[in-house]
């Protein structure tokens, strides 16, 4: 990774972290106020993102700082891979936590303040969309760079893990809005918990795939 690109990665990640903290505070607060499980789960899910995105940001800084160091025989590439692996672990643990809490809320539903929760979810979706736009824009800054703009094909697993964290928030935000709207107008109270479980399943799949790819690199397993 070129030094200029790495610096750009750091700056973009910092922007995303700031937006994520802002959205996290709003979601958790409104989750408790409105008693929406899907909104509360999304907020706590995003709190894990703050930690993992911070890890991503730190990994870029460390990799750049030691890029010419003789301490690393094969360079600093695996620092990012290790950060991606750790982020994937957090992502998977978060998914399991959301499943548990959503299942508990399914059997013990609480009255939800749907209107306020819908507004809060839309707010979160807008914030998450801005973060995705920031991260996807990173891949098009230098057209001569090796990145082809396809995040799924990117070998920067540190960045890919961070991207999937934010993408999972977008998914849960959309599912949350759908569940809250249906709950408000059709009295489908249990749908709020069910969407939390569904979103967690998607997140878990992403986490498992990231873990597989990063583990192969960390243990020098043959690719393909």
Contact between residue 59 and residue 158 where contact means Cβ atoms under 8 Å apart: yes
Dist CA 107 CA 104 (whole Å): 6
Question: Radius of gyration (Cα) for the chain, nearest Å?
Answer: 19
Has residue 176 been placed in a domain?
yes
Contact between residue 30 and residue 116 where contact means Cβ atoms under 8 Å apart: yes
Has residue 8 been placed in a domain?
yes
Dist CA 76 CA 105 (whole Å): 44
Per the listing, tokens 């507004």 go with 119
Has residue 23 been placed in a domain?
yes
Residue 213: partners with Cβ closer than 8 Å, 6 or more residues away: 157
Has residue 224 been placed in a domain?
no
Q: Kindly give the confidence (pLDDT) of every residue in the chain, 224 residues in length, as a single tens digit, with 9 standing for 90 and above.
A: 455 666 676 788 888 888 888 878 887 887 788 777 666 766 776 777 787 788 888 888 888 788 777 777 777 778 888 888 888 898 888 889 888 888 888 888 777 778 877 887 888 888 888 888 888 874 344 433 444 446 655 566 777 778 887 887 788 788 888 888 888 888 877 887 888 888 888 888 888 988 988 898 888 776 65
Has residue 102 been placed in a domain?
yes
Contact between residue 28 and residue 140 where contact means Cβ atoms under 8 Å apart: no
Has residue 95 been placed in a domain?
yes
Number of domain units in the chain: 1
Provide the angle, in degrees to the nearest 10, between the axes of the packed helices 157-186 and 191-218: 170
* Global pTM exceeds 0.85: no
| DSSP assignment letter at 152 | G
Residue 177: partners with Cβ closer than 8 Å, 6 or more residues away: 118, 121, 122, 125
What pLDDT shows up at residue 102?
84
What pLDDT shows up at residue 140?
45
Dist CA 34 CA 21 (whole Å): 20
Dist CA 127 CA 13 (whole Å): 14
CA distances, 180 to each of 86, 155, 198 (Å): 32, 37, 14
What pLDDT shows up at residue 58?
86
Boundaries of domain holding 193: 3-218
Using the Cα atoms of residue 22, residue 24, residue 25 and residue 26 in order, give the sign of their dihedral.
Answer: positive
CATH classification of the domain holding 165: 1.20.1510.10
Has residue 223 been placed in a domain?
no
Provide the angle, in degrees to the nearest 10, between the axes of the packed helices 37-65 and 114-138: 20
């Amino acid at each position: 990774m070129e030094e200029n690109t790495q610096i750009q990665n750091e700056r973009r990640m910092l922007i995303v972290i700031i937006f994520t903290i802002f959205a996290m505070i709003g979601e958790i607060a409104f989750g408790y106020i409105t008693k929406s499980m899907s909104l509360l789960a999304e907020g706590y899910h995003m709190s894990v993102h703050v930690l993992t995105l911070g890890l991503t940001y730190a990994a870029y800084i460390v990799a750049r700082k030691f890029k010419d160091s003789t301490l690393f025989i094969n360079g600093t590439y695996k620092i990012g891979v290790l950060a991606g692996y750790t982020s994937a672990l957090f992502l998977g643990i978060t998914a399991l936590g959301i499943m548990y809490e959503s299942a508990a809320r399914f059997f013990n539903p609480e009255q939800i303040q749907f209107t306020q929760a819908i507004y809060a979810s839309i707010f979160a979706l807008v914030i998450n969309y801005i973060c995705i736009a920031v991260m996807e824009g990173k891949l098009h800054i230098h057209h001569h760079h090796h990145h082809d703009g396809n995040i799924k094909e990117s070998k920067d697993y540190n960045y890919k893990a961070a991207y999937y964290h934010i993408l999972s928030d977008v998914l849960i935000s959309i599912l949350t809005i759908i569940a809250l709207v249906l709950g408000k107008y059709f009295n489908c109270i249990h749908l709020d918990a069910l969407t939390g479980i569904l979103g967690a399943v998607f997140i878990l799949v992403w986490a498992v795939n990231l873990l597989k790819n990063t583990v192969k690199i960390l243990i020098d397993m043959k690719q393909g």
